[in-house]
Amino acid sequence: MAVRTFIEAVREAMAQEMRRDASVIVLGEDVGKKGGVFLATDGLWAEFGDDRVIDTPLTESMIVGTSIGAALNGLRPIAEIQFADFIFPAFNQLVSEAARMRYRTMGASSVPMVVRAPYGGGVHGAMYHSQSIEAFFTHVPGLKTVVPSTPYDAKGLLVASIRDEDPVLFLEHKKLYRSVRGDVPGREYTVPIGRAVVRRPGSRLTVVAYGLMVHYALEAAERVADEGIDCEVIDLRTLRPLDRETLLGSVRKTGKCLVAYEDNRFGGYGAEIAAIVAEEAFDYLDGPVSRIAGPDSPAMPYNHILEDWFMLNPAKIADAIRKLAAY
């Protein structure tokens, strides 16, 4: 067991799986000698060489399309999209090809590939380096979407994703890369895809979050605890497949549900959580299913004050908790 940052855990997962399985390759922009813009692949090129750590042109459609072809021919690609904001040129490859391959071949073919993408704001990335993209892709059956919040889960879920027989979109919040540290076993282990976890038990109100928002929700829960509001915080970890059992079990216990997500509020992933809770736990609710999210602004501003206006934070989440608890 060693203390690792989030980015170190991601790197450790890839290195471990590349040593274990010669079919695992990494490809993307600057992932080779440079080690990626966030240094997620630092050291992999020196250990595994050009054949397995492949620098690509600045063409996301090619990165994902090539990965699909490689996966169909016996390899297990880990494709890095330098920033999630740039994934849209590869939308067709992910949605129309990778996600539907098992269905269109009646199970004869699968696409065991991972697409890693740093997402999210609060890092002064402005318009093209701050987007949250999860809602676009969780809509698509056949594509798994994983969003870890801790170094332990980052390693365990990435290993599980690499070993999965179907395509996985693995979203990493940029602000977590070096701000969060935690114990990570050096041994091989996996965290199962599709299982949420209760990060903080509580009895009065459920807060549902993922990625960076888990940490903000936990801090908010501690703030309101002194006011007698006992919150349970659920870390979804996997957005699709969703762990309905943990989600609904918590809401049925507490009677109130707040969903916190960074993306634009309208049509965001939290809307799906709210719908599921309203449909399947209505008789247990003691208040409206509530959401706190980013504003419906086309992009996150660069200006520090406006970026703070866009982003959620523990204080904003705590205020939303107080409002729902008082209903």
- For the cut 90, the answer to whether the pLDDT of residue 215 exceeds it is yes
Mean pLDDT for the stretch of residues 108-126: 96
- For the cut 90, the answer to whether the pLDDT of residue 323 exceeds it is yes
Integer angstrom CA distances of residue 174 from 100, 104, 123, 191, 303: 29, 35, 8, 21, 18
Active-site residue, selected from the candidate residues 124, 129, 139, 173: 129
Mean pLDDT for the stretch of residues 173-200: 97
What percentage of the chain has pLDDT greater than the value 70? 100
Mean pLDDT for the stretch of residues 311-322: 98
pLDDT at 8: 98
Identity of residue 153: D
Residue-wise pLDDT tens digits, 199-210: 999 999 999 999
Please return the burial class of 190, using the count of CB atoms within 10 Å of its CB with bins 0-12, 13-18 and 19+: middle
Q: Give the predicted TM-score (pTM) of the model.
A: 0.97
Mean pLDDT for the stretch of residues 265-269: 96
> pLDDT confidence of 307, banded at 50, 70, 90?
very high
Residue-wise pLDDT tens digits, 124-180: 999 999 999 999 999 999 999 999 999 999 999 999 999 999 999 999 999 999 999
Domains of the chain listed by start with CATH number? 2-184 (3.40.50.970), 197-325 (3.40.50.920)
The mean predicted confidence, pLDDT, of the chain is 97
Residue-wise pLDDT tens digits, 219-241: 999 999 999 999 999 999 999 99
Cα gap 5→111, rounded to integer Å: 30
Mean pLDDT for the stretch of residues 289-301: 95
pLDDT at 253: 98
pLDDT at 9: 98
* Residue 129 appears among annotated catalytic residues: yes
> pLDDT confidence of 1, banded at 50, 70, 90?
confident
